[in-house]
Structure 1
Amino acid sequence: MTPSDTGESLGRKWLLSADVRPTKQRLALAELLVGDGRNRHVTAESLYGSAGDHGAQVSLATVYNTLRAFCDAGLMNEVTVDGHRSYFDTRVDEHPHYYWEDTGTLTDAPKAAVAFAKEPEAPVGTTISRVDVVIRLSKNG
């Protein structure tokens, strides 16, 4: 049975899978993020623009708050590419990313793109919760 058979969208199922209350604004953003079943890498600004293009009435502040709520619920991961730019990834398993510096595009890189000979040791009293790898790319010449 598909979501359309049950009347339940992928976005709604995605939210409910993490016990996130499906408000009208959250549903609109969730549909843009996962409605077609594909993973996305978005900035708050790009999602805000897409929401406007699709007629969703949300403020940029709401988009930021919603993305943070989705991250807190484990639905997304935030990937920081420099000190002031973050992307939000709907694929939540650990995997590396390619970041094209000339276009500001973030995509998944194959897991085989990075291999650690040994996992680093965490300082006393801490554990490693996650390892994020961003491979920066620029055009030759």
Structure 2
Amino acid sequence: MMGAMTREPSSWATTPATRRSMQGNKARDTSPELAVRRLLHAKGLRYRVNVRPLPDLRRTADIVFTKQKIAVLIDGCFWHGCPEHYTRPAANREFWDAKVNRNRERDADTDRELEKAGWTVVRFWEHEAPTDVAESIRRAVES
């Protein structure tokens, strides 16, 4: 209908600026992931990116070595509640506490499901040095 006003759906964001900022966060190809992938590739390792290790489980791993059944996840400090760097937001605390707790629970469930299916799960925090992360992954792949 011409001239009808459209309403924005209600949002969890406390301000439009917060909403835009959060929408700009990437789900894949983050700087830590890219740095680790470059190092792995330079070591001669080949992998798949952002795939479901288990087709029936709606969860993706950042880096996957299908032959070795190794799933690598590089968790963001904010989104996954890093014990070293996570800071609770001042605004909308109940929402963010619940969100981070759900993420942690889903991470633990993902680890259990993959391990039950015979996969090795290796998790790192985004703040860890890419060289250390890549070396740990190389050792896991080569063992």
Bigger relative contact order (CA 8 A; separation at least 6): 2
**Structure richer in helix, relative to its length:** 2
- With the length of structure 1 as denominator, give the TM-score of the two structures: 0.27
- With the length of structure 2 as denominator, give the TM-score of the two structures: 0.27
